[in-house]
Amino acid sequence: MNLLVGLLAAIVSVAQHRPYRHYDVEHGLAGSTVYCVQQDSAGYLWFGTATGLSRFDGTQFRHFTTADGLPGNEVLGLVLDQFGRLWVQTFQGPLCYLKDGVFHTPANDGSLTPVVTAAAALGIIPDPEAGDVKVVGTEGVFAYSGAAVRPIPVVKSNGGTLWLRTVSRTLWYMNAEGLYRQRAGGSSELVLRAGSEELPAIDRVADLGTDVLVHTGSELLRIACSGTDARVAQRRPFAEGLNRAYTDAEGALWITTPSSGAYRFRTNTITTDVAESFAPSSAIPQLIMDREGVLWFASHRDGVFKLSSTQDRCFDLRDGLSSQDLHVVVDAGNGAVLVGTGDGTVERLSAAGGVRSASGPRRAGTRVLRGVRTSTGTFFIGDDGAFLVPTTGVACHWPVFGACKALAEEPDGNVLVGTAAGLYRVSPNTGKVLDTLALERCTAVLNDGAGHLLVGGMDGLRVMGPDSSGLGALVAELRGVRITDLLLMASGTLAVATHGRGLLMRDADGSMEWLTVERAGLSGAICGRSKQDEHGRLWVCTDRGLDRLVRDGGHWKVRNYAVADGLPDNEVRDVLVRGDSLWIATHKGLVMLVGAGDEERGDLHLRITGVRFNGRDTLIADRYRVPHDRNDISISFVALHMRSDGRITYRYRLFDEGAWQYTTANTITLPRATPGSYALAIEARTSGGTWGGPLVRIGIEVEAPWWQRPWVLAGILAALLIGAGLVFHRRQRRLISASRARELHTRAMAELELQAHRARIDPHFVFNCLNSIQGFVINADNEKAHRYIAQFASYIRRMLRVAKQNFIPLREEIELLREQTALEMMRTRQAFSTRIEADADVPLDAEVPTMLLQTFVENAIKHGLNPLQGRQGELEVRFSKTTDGVLCTVGDNGVGFDPSPAPAAHQGNHVSEGLDLVRERIALFNTQFGLDIRMELGPGAGGIGTTVSVTIPIERTNEREP
């Protein structure tokens, strides 16, 4: 019998040990003595302490005191009414409520002045049917509608009014004498008298809406009130006392006590429900369930406790574990699990059945690291070998393996055991080594089902088996990386857990992706055990929490579990997913959490908490227009999510089409924002949540300074353009003047050069003519001498007339050529014939460079025709029209002329010098007058004689000077 009692006690103890999250002064709470807790209409949690009021937004606490408008720092009660007002009852100070960020007291709100009782003596009871709030004090009972306080006549008692509520237009209230009824327009009637059989005594009273809960000292009574009657609907023995009562969103009734924690009645029936004990601390003044289903317990001595689920359980030394340093958890069937400890033991436990040893005595300092279920039990490995914990019988230990590191089950039921010295195939039932596969350190091993063994080590991956070329890229990617686990998922994706690099995912098509803290949101970079549950979700243990990964299209959605979710510690060694429950092994014990498949909310309540310009707060609005000198902008915001414990990521952009910026801070700062329009959009998501929730938008327009206004800029631009135009015009005039001066100078220099060239050309011909005249005189041929002198004089007169002109009509040039050839023929006694012709379509009035062709004619006669022997010489000058201008051809049938450098040497320097002078003169004409005179020199027709072709454009691009 004693054994049975002890067993039942153990079961109760296990059932009562839950993973509470603790908050105290070191986390930002105003004080460790917490009297009350309440959630306001905006979603904030408020905690009344002995040293001030604390507000919690899921991430951090903010402290409020008398400096912020509180009547007193010791806050004893918090009540949220149907109008969204949060009433604050302080030990010293008048009536007070918080609305829209302002504490209302009689000092700033005249509607509260009729009630002068210190708040410590007040009771604040919302009365929805009456449409007001009942205020109870030593002066009496009052109704507050928001505009004024009016007194309500009730029967007075020494202890004051303890509770009241309007039900079907009837006011019910209770004092030390009992329960009263006051119909509309009538007087008060005592319905249940204190000290009667139905209501033996009134020790404490708690509000349950239309019901009232009474503790008599030894019993709990639930009295239900209707429009005409009241009765004791439920009662039960209960000696633990009563602080407050609360009905949560799931319909359960909660009762807090002065020294025994809290109790839950799951179906809100105190008569038949089993009272479940919740004791994070002994004295629990109040608890609430927030909008996310999280429970918050106010403790009279130990701060605040948070419980994510009433089904969550914790197991450690207090529950009978020999060690809370746990490394592995394996399903043992029938709702139980086996856990391996850091002291070499394996222990069996369940949420409803206590703890018992399953592997023999402790072996201090030897860890049990991994385990797999077999047909006869569970096979474990650890620091001192392997052992089997059979379903029935005594555990078998095989220390021969030494320090084991890796374990994997094969399809045939055998296991692969990786040790510090090698890799072995082992029978899990006998411990016999069936095959030695490798003699090297093995930290992870996997049989991929395709004939390959993947062996992880301290510096990379090794593939054993036939044709492993398809895995070459994977081996290369993991070179130098310490591998901690290998898992082949049902989809064919290989998950490689590493020490310090995160998780490498290799899909069946060979594509690879690294999942890290920064890129994917993993809890930590040191990844350990990885497992896949029956729903295809991947679970990864890290040094900073547990991660759940779900493939969502082309990316992995990660949900983190940490201390905020109920873990004893963030260093997670192993996880077992069984249905909707998570069994998580840490070095501070084992925790069972329900809700493995719960999705994170995507509709976080994001709100703007502050807008500041140049460090000054302003009222929160949708749009702002500020001058240019108030452009230091700071915007604060928060997403209220009590489960996340601050693990919220925000993203924002400044323009509708702008890029998203990501941050975990809840403030955006725009220092010295440039003038313009900003369309700020902010979004939030929790760890494991998705983007796409509601956006918070704020429009901000920073005005441009007056000197940047459009009309000012237009004026400045016009002035600049005018000034630039004037400067440009003046500069252009100077440039044009300088250019004209340079042009005149250049033309003058060119004219001098042309005149110099003409001065160098003419003497050749003159000397030849004088020599001829001298010959006629010496030979006494007076008649010829006379004709020659007359012809020479005519030529000299014509040449002097055109010598100063750069261009002359073609007709004049032809006459000069005819007179020149006539003089040469007379000089040579008709040794050659001359033919000078112009095609009919050649414009004889077209202007050509003066005396350009004389040198070619002179050279043809002197060097082509004079040396000719054996045949009559012929000289032909022809002018024809082309598309490029006038083509002048000078040809002879003389001895010919080789233009190459070598033959030119024996023809005399005169020929070369003459041609050079002509080329220089052509270059000057082309440069000075924009012409494109081209000269070609070559043999005549049939290779006889020499032909010179000169193409002269008729029109010039530069204007000829007068």
Q: What is the CATH number of the domain that holds 633?
A: 2.60.40.10
Please tell me whether residues 396 and 487 are part of one structural domain: yes
* Tally of domains within the chain: 3
Question: Are 822 and 866 contained in the same domain?
Answer: yes
- Report the Cα 113 to chain-centroid distance in Å: 54
Are 338 and 363 within one domain?
yes
Domain boundary among 594, 619, 645: 594
The answer to whether residues 785 and 857 belong to one domain is yes
Residues 647 and 530 in one domain: no
Question: What is the phi/psi pair of residue 150, to 5°?
Answer: -125, 145
Spell out where 343-451 has E strands. Answer: 346-350, 354-357, 368-373, 377-382, 385-390, 396-398, 404-409, 415-419, 423-426, 433-438, 444-447
User: In this structure, what CATH number is given to the domain that contains residue 318?
Assistant: 2.130.10.10
Mind giving me the DSSP string for 848-897? EETTSSHHHHHHIIIIIITT--SS-EEEEEEEEEETTEEEEEEEE-SS--
Q: Which residues span the domain enclosing 778?
A: 716-952
Strand, coil or helix: 610: strand
Q: What is the pLDDT of residue 577?
A: 94
**369 in a domain, yes or no?**
yes
Name 569's Cβ contacts closer than 8 Å, sequence gap at least 6. 563, 586, 587, 588
CA-wise closest residue to 141 among 160, 127, 128: 160
* 693 and 778 inside one domain: no
Return the half-sphere exposure (C-beta side, CA atoms, 13 A cut-off) of residue 340: 29
Which residue type, as a one-letter code, is found at position 638? V
Residue 748 C-alpha from the chain's centroid: 72
How crowded is residue 285: how many other Cβ atoms within 10 Å of its Cβ? Answer: 22
**Can you give the CATH number for the domain in which 863 is found?**
3.30.565.10
**Does residue 14 form part of some domain?**
no
459 and 580, same domain (yes or no): yes
In a domain, 196, yes or no: no
Could you tell me if residue 465 is inside a domain?
A: yes
CA atoms within 13 A on the CB side of 209: 7
pLDDT at 15: 41
663 found inside a domain: yes
Identify whether 448 is part of a domain.
yes
Pairing of strands 873-882, 832-838: parallel
**Sheet strand arrangement including 483-488:** 483-488, 494-498, 503-506, 512-515
pLDDT of residue 9: 34
Instruction: List own/partner pairs for 904-912 with CB under 8 A and 24 or more apart.
Output: 907/863, 910/764, 911/859, 911/863
Residue 440, C-beta contacts closer than 8 angstroms, at least 6 positions apart: 421, 422, 423, 455, 457, 462
574 is a domain residue: yes
Asked if 670 contacts 633 with a C-beta cutoff of 8 angstroms, the reply is yes
Check whether residue 773 and residue 682 sit in a common domain.
Answer: no
Q: Select from 573, 594, 615 the last residue of a domain.
A: 594
Cα separation, 682 vs 666, whole angstroms:
10
d(CA 551, CA 556): 5
For the chain, which residues score pLDDT lower than 70? 1-16, 116-121, 352-353, 360, 600-603, 688, 744-765, 897-914, 956-962
Please report, to the nearest 10 degrees, the dihedral formed by the alpha carbons of residues 258, 261, 267, 272 taken in order: -70
> CB count, 10 Å around CB of 582?
25
Question: Which of 596, 698, 600, 701 minimizes the C-alpha distance to 641?
Answer: 600
Separation CA 379–CA 398 (nearest Å): 11
Whether residues 656 and 778 fall in one domain? no
Dist CA 303 CA 284 (whole Å): 10
For residue 328, the model assigns a pLDDT of 97
Look at residues 646, 681, 705 and tell me which one is the last residue of a structural domain: 705
Nearest C-alpha neighbor of 68 from the set 47, 54, 80, 78: 54
Calculate helix-pair angle for 909-929, 710-778, nearest 10 degrees: 150
Q: Are residues 796 and 836 in the same domain?
A: yes
* 784 and 849 share one domain: yes
Residue labelled with tokens 């003595």? 33
Neighbour tally for 911: CB within 10 Å? 15
**Pair (697, 826) in one structural domain:** no
Residue 284 lies in a domain: no
